[in-house]
Structure 1
Amino acid sequence: MKKIVAIIAVALILFQLGCSNDKEYTFDSDFYPRIFDNGNTFTSPNRIVEEGASVNFNRLSFSPSPSKGMEISWKVNGQHVSSDTAFVFTPPNGGGEFEVTLEASFKGNVSTRKSKVLVSPSTYAPKPFDQIALSYLTENGNASFIDWKQVTHVAFNGARVLPEGGIDFSKGDLNQVTDELVARAHLNGIPFLLSVSGRLSGVDGWALYNNSDFGDVISNPTLMAQLVTTLVDYVERKKIDGIDVLMTDLSNDDAAIAGRNAAAVGPFINALKAALQPGKLVTATVTTNYLHWNYTDLSQADWIHVRAYDDGAHVSPGAPLGQSSTLDYMISSAAVWTNKGFAKNKLVLGMPAYGIRYDELDSDGNNLSWGSYTNVSYTSILQASSDADAYKKDYLPNIGKGVYYNGVVLIKEKADYVKEQGFKGAYLWAGDYDVKDNRSLMATIKANIK
């Protein structure tokens, strides 16, 4: 015990001597100044705030201290604004993106910390458009996947309905994904929609097989009312422009449940429209199979997204290989809803940024089984191909046992049809499967319907 006490005493003496010596320490010309971020001020490289909010850069310490010759410079977008050891950044009105830089200089040596501050404007004016060109992001999407010049609207699948009636917003709340999408959308004059759905199966955005989480909730008046309240609160608080009801959650085996779920979409949309502030959008993404007859009145929806791709004719056991998202299929899918009484100027037709890769074939050269194909993103297809012209094509024989998809040529044909026929526009599922160069499917859509 005496040994331990002695060791502690020696340590305290050395610590005190060290502190005393630090006051007399002479920093040579090779010493780089140190910035100690005691409050994790610069831990996150990005801050996203609403207009009117300030950002504090504090709880910092420096070695050597300013009294020993340290020079401090705070800069906003490269312009010096302060020499203090702490800084409060109050952005100008109107929103925008700013880079805040801290420079600590000593004898010509400079240490730097940086942070970007994205300020979401309190109001914005949506850009005018002729027809809608909407990039629809999956739950794994974020603002980095959007070329804001190539869209008129953006939707993000950031609200997952839970079986008990709650909502999982975690995909959008993590790292402020939703906040950044709202801010960047509004800075670019783009309306942003929150997509609400049940559990989805994967790349194709279809419902998880035999799942009815969303349908069960909106078919229950009490749970539906709770769901509306939660969604409206989130949308208003986040300054989101509206909600898309991604209703592919119809159930697969039980026709009665599937029909019930489809029938619940209309009342759900009506309730959302009534609860949201005037001017907020409410849209619906709907199927084109036999269940379209079960949808009730959708007249309160601002427009309808028609899932006009993926005919399902080439994936069953023994099915012939082929293109599942032809122009003809899109035309027939649109006709399902025009025949139901919807005007073309209320329909936004879907196009895919993914394809079907066949992995195993039977002895006749057809698809082997339900598990012998894979839905793959357009980005993955381009990355897997050595063909520089793959983006212009819609079939590549050398990826797996062959892959069928939509390239820019087929997407242009579809976009031309949308424009010529006077539909409200087109959407791409999914924006995070696309690329942002001359091979972009979203850019092809926008260029041909503007």
Structure 2
Amino acid sequence: MRHLKYFLFIILTALTFGACDNSVSDPTFADDEIPYIRMDWVGNLIYNLGDTIRFNAQVSPVDETTCRWLINGEQVAEGTQFEYIIKSADPFVLRLEAERNGIVNFRTANVSIIKPFVPKTYEHVVMGAASTAINVAQIKWDKITHLMIEGLIVGDESGTFAMPDAAALANLKSLVSNAHNNGVYVLIDVTGNISFPMGNGSYNDTFFNDVLIDKDKRAALISQLKSFVTTYGLDGINIYINNLNNDAGTLKDHNGLVDFFKELGETFPAEREAPYDHFFITASVPQAWNNYEFYFLGNCDRLDWVNLMLFGGTDLSPVPHAPDWQVSDNLGRFANAAGIPASKMLVGIGGFGVNYAIPAGVSPTWGTIDQYLSYPTYLDIVKNNPDAPSKSQIGNLFYVGVSGAENSVASKSTFVKNADGLGMFMWLLDYDASSPNSLLDAIDHQMNP
């Protein structure tokens, strides 16, 4: 027992003296090793005019590493500490470089500066829908009046949406600040489980519909939305009930859905304080044989407009997925049967194609057709076919082009203008090609020349 006590005393003494040494030695590096950078850093930073950016970088090895700070590629400071007063509203790229023996480690961030909001004036609404992963630099702010971000997913019966991850939320903040700096309103899309690029829901997945017709669950959802909208400075909410593809072929409880929109409108009044002035509530309608199930939207007085997602249609043999006749048909039906005027409708352009690869001699069924279909983005279609913008079909690949005689932005815009429609939107900006082949450019040219 005496030996055990002595042994424990030796261990405790060693631990005590070890704990007293708080110094941490700089790691040993080979000559060709990259230096370390240790600091909190995110890819998108947001500041106000007059703010001071402050960073204190930790690098290793300290004595052998040179640090420099660059703005838009030009060095503005040197050393591990950085302070910079923001005197201009122009966004910029901040870069930290740590160099040792000619080897450079770095961090970069897109810095956005918040300016007073001045909403755009426009003849027609041109809305871009985008994922939370889109790079701010991809968005042509001069081409859109509204931005809709995908999205908040109500994926189970709990009545709450799943929070996007930290990177998506940081990007959302950057998107909102950049949009507001350019006079663009930002809406958040709320939907059920969703498949991209088409935007379809999962078959027989009716969770979102079930939540919206349950009084207690929809109250919890609206409360969660209120908090989210306030936190991220959003200007509107779009509701997309994307579970029409179910065995029953119907939406449940139309009156309950009307009640949801009424309660949503009570929580988010249309009038807001200047300079934002208005809070938008919109709804999306899929292209489907049974989308008459959405006629109940005509009883939702608070709706600012309806997004007609007229793309993504398939059949057992190759057909256009976004034919022009769907535009005239939906504008007419929703005006006459639902009482929603064309002046409260946006017509959507899908930034993807549907390619049929059905082997010779095969007759697909609705249970097998999916294995023969693929959905290339418009960006990829243009990369592989330089003349694609002037067409809407290449073999058994169907898509919406820029300027073709049919099934193009140009042809669809004619229906919208002739019906005095509110405008058009693109789904998704992530899929668009660059100018002069851009679908968004074409939409803007037609709607707000």
The alignment's TM-score, normalised by the length of structure 2, stands at 0.78
Question: Which amino acid is 1:184 matched to?
Answer: N
* 3-state SS in 2 of match to 1:154: strand
Specify the alignment match of 2:259 in structure 1. 267
Specify the alignment match of 1:342 in structure 2. 340
Summarize deviations over 1:181-218 as a string: whole Å, max 9, x none.
21222222211111000012332112211111111111
CA distance in 1, matches of 2:380, 2:70: 44
For structure 2, list consecutive stretches of 5 or more residues without a partner in the other structure: 1-17, 19-24, 273-277
Shift of 1:125: 1.3
Shift of 1:425: 0.3
1:206 aligns with 2:205: no
CA distance in 2, matches of 1:431, 1:76: 28
CA distance in 2, matches of 1:172, 1:249: 28
Paired residues of 1:391 and 1:439 also in contact (CA < 8 A): yes
CA distance in 2, matches of 1:135, 1:323: 23
Specify the alignment match of 2:302 in structure 1. 300
CA distance in 2, matches of 1:352, 1:64: 52
CA distance in 2, matches of 1:309, 1:190: 25
Name the count of aligned residue pairs: 405
Specify the alignment match of 1:130 in structure 2. 123
* 3-state SS in 1 of match to 2:263: helix
Paired residues of 2:356 and 2:397 also in contact (CA < 8 A): yes
* 3-state SS in 2 of match to 1:127: coil
CA distance in 2, matches of 1:325, 1:72: 54
1:187 aligns with 2:181: yes
Paired residues of 1:157 and 1:195 also in contact (CA < 8 A): yes
CA distance in 2, matches of 1:323, 1:34: 53
For structure 1, list consecutive stretches of 5 or more residues without a partner in the other structure: 1-11, 13-18, 23-30
Paired residues of 1:264 and 1:295 also in contact (CA < 8 A): no
CA distance in 2, matches of 1:95, 1:297: 44
Q: Once superposed, what is the RMSD of the aligned Cα atoms?
A: 3.6
Paired residues of 1:140 and 1:171 also in contact (CA < 8 A): no
Q: 1:252 to 1:63 in 2, by over 3 A?
A: closer
Give matches, 1:11-22, under 5 Å: none
CA distance in 2, matches of 1:98, 1:202: 31
CA distance in 1, matches of 2:239, 2:71: 41
Shift of 1:283: 0.9
Summarize deviations over 1:386-433 as a string: whole Å, max 9, x none.
x43122111111xxxx11111112111112332343211011222222
* 3-state SS in 1 of match to 2:189: strand
Give matches, 1:152-167, under 5 Å: 152-162=145-155, 163-167=157-161
CA distance in 1, matches of 2:352, 2:79: 53
Give matches, 1:66-77, under 5 Å: 74-77=69-72
Give matches, 1:358-369, under 5 Å: 358-361=356-359, 363=361, 369=366
Percent identity, aligned pairs only? Answer: 19
Specify the alignment match of 2:3 in structure 1. none
Specify the alignment match of 2:228 in structure 1. 234
Shift of 1:101: 4.6
Paired residues of 2:311 and 2:350 also in contact (CA < 8 A): yes
Question: Which amino acid is 1:341 matched to?
Answer: G
* 3-state SS in 2 of match to 1:136: strand
Give matches, 1:18-417, under 5 Å: 36-37=36-37, 39-41=38-40, 44=42, 46-51=43-48, 55-61=53-59, 65=63, 74-77=69-72, 82=77, 85-92=80-87, 94=89, 96-101=91-96, 113-121=106-114, 123-138=116-131, 141-162=134-155, 163-170=157-164, 173-174=167-168, 176-250=170-244, 252-255=246-249, 258-260=251-253, 262-276=254-268, 278=272, 279-287=278-286, 289-295=291-297, 297-310=299-312, 312=313, 314-315=314-315, 319-339=316-336, 340-361=338-359, 363=361, 369-372=366-369, 373-379=372-378, 382=381, 385=384, 387-397=385-395, 402-408=396-402, 409=404, 410-417=408-415
Higher mean displacement: 223-232 or 323-332: 323-332
Paired residues of 2:44 and 2:110 also in contact (CA < 8 A): yes
